[in-house]
Every structure is written in C-alpha cells, then in structure tokens.
Amino acid sequence: MYQDKEMLASIKKVEAKRAENIKLDPRRMTAEEKEKLLATYHPDFKEDKFTKLTIGPNKGEKVPTELSFLLQGKSRIADMDLDLESPKYDIDVLIIGGGGAGCSCAIEADNGGAKTMIVTKLRIGDANTMMAEGGIQAADKPNDSPAQHFLDAYGGGHFAAQKDLLYKLVMEAPEAIQWLSELGVEFDKAPDGTMITTHGGGTSRKRMHAAKDYSGAEIMRTLRDEVLSRGIPVLDFTAAIELIKDDKGQCAGAVLMNMESGEIYIARAKCVVIATGGAGRLHYQGFPTSNHYGATADGLVLAYRAGAKLLYPDTIQYHPTGVAFPAQIYGALVTEKVRSVGAMLVNKDGEVFMNPLETRDVSAASIIRECSDRGKGVKTPTGYAVWLDTPMIEEKFGRGTIEKRIPGMLRMFLRFGIDMREEPILVYPTQHYQNGGIKISADGMSELENLYVAGEAVGGIHGRNRLMGNSLLDIIVFGRNAGRSVAEKCKSVKLGKLNFDHVAAFEKERADAGITDNTLSPKLLPDYTRVEKPAIDPDLR
Amino acid sequence: MEQMVTVYLFGKEHKVPESLTIMEAMEYSGYKLVRGCGCRNGFCGACATLYRIKGEKELKAALACSAKVEDGMYVATLPFFPLVKEQYDIEKLKPEQQVMMQLYPEIYGCVGCNACTKACPQSLNVMQYIAYAQRGDFEKCAEESFDCVMCGICSTRCPAQISHPQVAMLARRLYGKYVAPHCDHLDDMVDAVKTGKIEELIQSVMNKPLEEIKELYNTREIEK
C-alpha cells in the first residue's frame, strides 16, 4: 500500500488510462532517435564522470572515475614481505570467483582432468548469477537461428562486439541450454517439452528461456551442487589480492587472503582464471545497484596491474528498472521479464512514453529523460521514478499470471506491503552490468600468458551494451570454454621462478606518473558502515 | 527526525531508524559485514537471522536483508549452518524413491512437527516438500521447494536432523534432468550447429560490411 498523496493521485491516473494503454503497441525508436537520446541522457556520456588513465595497458583511455582510483591504486601487498618458495597450494588451475562462470569453468576443468581449486571472497554461489532473474537467451526454435541471435546482439551492442567472441556466444548457446538441462536445471516448458520463451529488450525472436523469475538462482544452485558433488575444493571467504608471475612473464598464481583473519596464503597455479564478476558496488555516479555485495571489479584490478589490457571499461549498463521505492530495496532489480510478460512503463500522468522492449541503454536513457527534462517523474524519497504498470499483466493474461511467472518479484514487493497484482511499482535505472572488462581471445586467455577470464569480467563479448539474457548465457559458454582451455593448456605449462616484479614495476609507474592517491586495491567489499558513532544508550549497564 | 527503535544486536542495545532492514541496522550500528551478507535482496540466503521480540516467547526467523527492524528485537545472525550435503554423480542416479532412502534416509525420521515450515523466511511449505521427497514425487517436491534460497533456517529447527534445502536440491535436479518433458527442438538446433548447417548463414551475416549489417539490423522483422 502506498501512502504518499502524490503517489496515490498518480496511481489514479495510471488506473484511469490502463484499459486504453493495454491496447497500445508503441512504435520503436529509429536509429537516429536512439543515438540522440543516449548522447543526451545516458550516464556513459557524462564526460565529467570519467577519468583518463595515466598508467598501465590502457593509458590514455577513460574509465569511470571510481574505477580509475582502483586500477591505479596501491597494491595490498606493496609493503608485505612474502615467501614465494613454499606455496601453501600448488595446483593446475586456480579459479578466482565462485559464481556461474567460475563454477562452469571448474566443472569443465575437472572434466579435463586438471587439479582445480576455486577461491571466493564470500561463499560459492554468492554472485550476480544468483540474482539474475529474467532468463537466458539461446536460438533453439525453428523460427530462429544463431545468426539472428548474432544480429540482435551485435546491433544491440552498437556494432562494437568482438565478432569471434559473439560468434562463440550465439553458436554455443543451444548446447549451453542442453548442458544445463542435463545437469538438472528446470527450464519453463510446455507439457510437450517445448521451451516457453519470451522477448527481451532488443530481441527479434522470442528466445528468452527462464526458470520462473529465479533463472539465475536455479542455474547457480545447480552448478554449485555439481561442483560440491564432485568434491572440487572451494575456499570460501578467501580473496585473491594480487596475481603472481614467473620469470618468463607468465601468470603463475595468486596471493590469497583470508577475509576474516587476514592470513595470507600463496597459491601457485599453471593457469589462473579470473571469474570475479562486475562492479556495481562501486556505485558509479552515485547510482544504486542491483549487484551482489562483492561486485567491486577486483578481477579487473588484478589483471590490469599484471599487464592485461581492458576493452570497453567505459561502458556500463544501467538496468532501466531498478526498484525506486520502497527505500529498503532501493536499486534492487526488477527483472526485464516483468516487461516481457506484459507490463508497460508509464509516467506520472499515466502516459506510455516508450515501447517497453527497447534495449536496456535506450530504456534507461528514456526513463532518465522522463524524470528530468520532461518533468514527468513521480517524486520518491530518493528522487524521481516512473511506473511499471504491473496490474496490466493480469488484465491481459488473467489472474495468477504474476504469481506463476514472476513469483520472486511478487514476494520481494509483498515483503514491504506492495501488491504488484493490484498496484503498479516505481522504477528508476540502477547500475547493473559492466559491459567491458578484460580483453580475451576466443580461447578465453587475456593478453597475459596463462591468465584466463570468464563471465562479467570479460570485455568485448557484448560490445557497448548487453541484451537481457546474454549474460547468463555468457557465463556458461565462456566459463566452460575457459575450463576446457585451461585443462588443455596446463598440460604444457612449465612454470619458472615466481616473483612480484610486476607489482614493484607498477608501484614505480605510479610514482613516476605522480600518483599520490594511495587507495588500496582491489577493494574487496564496499563500505556501508555508518561513519558516525552509533547511538548507543550510555545508560546501558 | 526519523522514528527510532531499539534493537539488540547479539544482545547489545542500539537505537536505529525504524525504516531500516536488519542488515542496514547492523551497518548503521557500526558493523562491517563479511559473513551474513550476500545479494542484499532476498535471493541468496546468506543472511539467515533468528530473532525474538522482547517480552515474547516465540523465536522467529528472517532474512536480514529483507526484514525491517522492530522495536525490542533481539537479533542473532546465522551466517553458517552445517547442512549435510551428500556427494553424488547425477548421471548415475535414477529418479526413484530409492535415491532418497540411500542419500538422505533421515527424511523418513520426520516427526511432523512442522517447525521447518513455521521458520521458513520464504513462506514455503517445507514439511510438505519433504513429504513429497519421501514418496519420491520429485515433480511436486521441486515445485513446492522452488523458491528455496537454501538459507538453512529450517534445518536449525529440525528435531530429525534433516537438511531440507539439500534434499530439495537433489529433488529439483532429478526432476529437471529425468522427469521434466524432454525438449526436442533444442536437440535439433544443437545438431544443426554441430553438423555445420548454421555456418554459412552466420558467416554471411558476420562478414557483411558494417553499413549492410546496420541496415539488416535496423530493418529486421520482430516476432509478435
């Protein structure tokens, strides 16, 4: 139940226009309209929020200012004297990150016979994969083709994707769905086994496969179960804080830190896989985020310091529909599937202002325009927002549709007294995905020998914007791909003497460039602890 | 000034704004969370929490990220609980009642107290899905347990030592792999890709000059 008078008055308008709005099929924007909209309203185009890097492999390129401090930050081991002679762990494959990409990689590396270990700074499965709600794309129906999938993703990403990576993504998509099914992932199916698929923003065919609106959770818990069933070692609450190289300049392991005790361990590995995910918890430009607590771009920092190049680190995806109200779940994801199953975006006067299934960057920019220059946003305690008219879904497809198709969303809002079957919900863009990341070749290796990357930490698969459902897909396809590559590669790797020369060299580069900021990186966790002294009752005891 | 309430975090008294979730109240009170914090949005099950309201006897459970503080709340987080997770090769299992008897025989010791259901922060009918698992009805068990975030609160309350989330996990995998209807069009497309039937088409799209790809994209037909 909403209590704010302005919100209630606005809801009346939304309700009054609902019957008329349901019938609309708003036209899509032209390429020119989209370009202008993005340039004017998308956060990626706010030049003053970016900083040019002055050192490292991407010197001269701009990145979000918050990220620049970390990429050019001070190493956590700069002042440590570490013994590299007797590593605590000596393995074939070290996977940093226990999300969907890390687990897929581990399973394939294990299949390939490699001695594999996962380290994760939180728990295995604590990852953005777990929070992906809407679905996973794959062209597997008779009216569709991986070529059509390629076209949608390439165009949606502004024709900037690395073609060989995108080719792999779409061509291996059907097999990824098959692999997951065989592991026991439950996809929504008709009684005859036909996949129930919907559109996502920017798709030209209905190829979004889902497991209700717990798609990522269903995939993640199944992968986790498989990793644990195989007995692959997993070190929870253990962060990688620096990569280790050898005297041949290859990646050769990582420095690990126990998140609770601060204890340091050395892991020597023939191949290292970065599967550390995204950067939502850096809160670029002050945006809230839909991301996991651990999404702090650690992998980008580790790889950058060791000499690996980044691709498109300046492009961030703001999911158009983050929760704008209530404040307790500000920034949380409202899955695109809510629009896929029929809800439309309407402004404070109840007007439909766009086709609800434009690509995410365009949708986000359009909502920002509605809430800024057009003055059509609904006031909330945190700013302005637009309505996502959810009751429309039930009017179109019958009562019970919401509970059946998007139960997670229903539950999330009901916890705070809002019943989306009866009342619309308030949304505003939230920081959601790092489109860019570490540059890789088609086998998954970065520009640093024996350093592989999988999942959201990779840059270039999606170009400068990602379509819904292509991220769950990419963690599976490129996670498995990296796993197979490292299992093969580690057979021929001969490690030399381990050293930290690159860390010392980076510190020197920092000094030479006159960088005096000593932000420690990687960041590991965001800091939400209130700074002021908590109001503890002095009379207590 | 926002209304403040009194909460007791691990027994210690703090005054916090009443609008906060339990997790936010901890951070407001000076805690830096490492354990017991994950997606912050009700999907990952990292922040299982037990609490009791001062003056009341009932022990309640919640996810710290998704429950608001209440006045007089005594809070204990449960950042880890040793569930029993059996190892198995899903390829070698059969979707039969027998599987549960072999891997999780303790489910047959359920005494029907329903404490698991009462404790579930997702409002799942936990005891019911265990009953389905006992009978080998994996479809119903999967359906009933689908929204489980595996926080483990149910298992902390169970006198029969059942690890409910792991039982449900196995049931869902068995259902998804063996019982759910098989998808033929998926197999067809996987074969088409593997036998090279897609190659020519995708190469012809990929290798067009940029302007032609743009034209193709901007004029593509969108399925209704």
B70 and B130 co-located in one domain: no
**Is A46 contained in some domain?**
no
Q: Dump pLDDT digits (tens) for B147-202.
A: 999 999 999 999 999 999 999 999 999 999 999 999 999 999 999 999 999 999 99
Q: So what's the pLDDT on residue A134? A: 86
Residue B85, in any domain of the structure:
no
Mutate to test the interface with B, among A4, A221, A323, A403 (most CBs of B within 10 A): A221
Residues A145, A289, single domain; the answer is yes
Q: Is residue B141 in a domain?
A: yes
Max CA distance (Å), chain A: 73
Same domain, A449 and A425: no
Tens of pLDDT, residue by residue, chain B (224 residues): 679 999 999 999 999 999 999 999 999 999 999 999 999 989 999 999 999 999 999 999 999 999 999 999 999 999 889 999 999 999 999 999 999 999 999 999 999 999 999 999 999 999 999 999 999 999 999 999 999 999 999 999 999 999 999 999 999 999 999 999 999 999 999 999 999 999 999 999 999 999 999 999 999 999 98
A184 contacts B173? CB cut-off 8 A: yes
A339 is catalytic: yes
Kindly state whether residues B70 and B111 are assigned to the same domain: no
DSSP-derived 3-state class of residue A261: coil
Across residues A514-540, what is the average pLDDT? 79
> Per the residue annotation, which of A339, A369, A432, A464 is the catalytic one?
A339
Check A214 against B43: CB less than 8 A apart.
Answer: yes
- Chain B residues close to A181, C-beta within 8 Å: 176-177, 183, 186
pTM summary value: 0.96
Q: Would residue A199 show up in a list of annotated catalytic residues for this protein?
A: no
Domain-located, residue B220: no
In a domain, B194, yes or no: no
Considering the domain architecture, whether residues A32 and A126 belong to the same structural domain is answered as: no
Per 3-state DSSP, chain B is made up of helix, strand and coil in percentages (nearest 5) of 40, 15, 45
Q: How much is the pLDDT for A532?
A: 64
- Reported ipTM exceeds the 0.95 cut: yes
Give the minimum alpha-carbon distance from A285 to chain B in angstroms, rounded to a whole number.
20
| CB atoms A529 and B31 under 8 Å | yes
The whole-number average pLDDT for the span A118-132 is: 96
| A388, A439: one domain | no
For residue A120 the two structure tokens come to 């994760």
A175:B85 CB<8 A: no
| Residue-number span of the structural domain to which A135 is assigned | 75-79+88-315+435-499
pLDDT digits (tens, 9 = 90+) for A282-332: 999 999 999 999 999 999 999 999 999 999 999 999 999 999 999 889 999
A534 pLDDT higher than 50 = no
Q: Does the distance separating the beta carbons of A193 and B217 come in below 8 Å?
A: no
- The string of pLDDT tens digits covering residues A43-66 is 999 999 999 999 999 999 999 999
Chains A, B: CB contacts within 8 A come to 240
> Are A269 and A292 part of one and the same domain?
yes
Across chain A, what does the average pLDDT equal? 96
For residues B127 and B73, membership in a common domain is answered with no
Is the domain of A212 the same as that of A345?
no
Are A327 and A215 in the same domain? no
Alpha-carbon distance of A352 to A389, in angstroms, equals 10
Residue from A158, A207, A209, A319 carrying the catalytic annotation = A319
Mean pLDDT of A176-201: 97
**Min CA distance, B184 vs chain A (Å)?**
7
For A229-255, what is the mean pLDDT? 98
Is B211 part of any domain?
no
Domain CATH number, residue B16: 3.10.20.740
pLDDT at A141 over 70: yes
* pLDDT of A366 above 50: yes
Residue A133 confidence class, pLDDT cut points 50, 70, 90: confident
Contacts of A537 in chain B (CB under 8 A): 6, 13, 15
The CATH number covering residue A330 comes to: 3.90.700.10
CA distance B17 to chain A (A): 10
Nearest CB to B27; choose among A171, A181, A528? A528
Cα B196 to Cα A207, A242, A452, distances in angstroms: 21, 42, 28
Contacts of A138 in chain B (CB under 8 A): 189
* A403 band by pLDDT with thresholds 50, 70 and 90: very high
Q: What is the dihedral of CA B56, B61, B67, B69, to 10 degrees?
A: 30
Please state, in angstroms and rounded to a whole number, the distance separating the CA atoms of residues A284 and A83: 37
- Residue predicted with more confidence, A499 or B41: A499
Q: Determine the Cα–Cα distance for residues A429 and A316; give it in Å rounded to an integer.
A: 12
Question: Could you tell me the residue range of the domain that residue B154 belongs to?
Answer: 90-179
**Number of structural domains, chain B?**
2
- Asked if the structure places residue B217 within a domain, the reply is no
> B214 lies in a domain?
no
**Total number of domains in chain A:** 2
pLDDT at A539 over 70: no
- Percentage of chain A beyond pLDDT 70 is 98
Does B94 share its domain with B175? yes
Q: Quick one: A292 and A275 in the same domain?
A: yes
CATH number of the CATH domain containing A112: 3.50.50.60
Strand extents, DSSP E, A276-402:
310-311, 316-323, 344-346, 378-380, 383-389
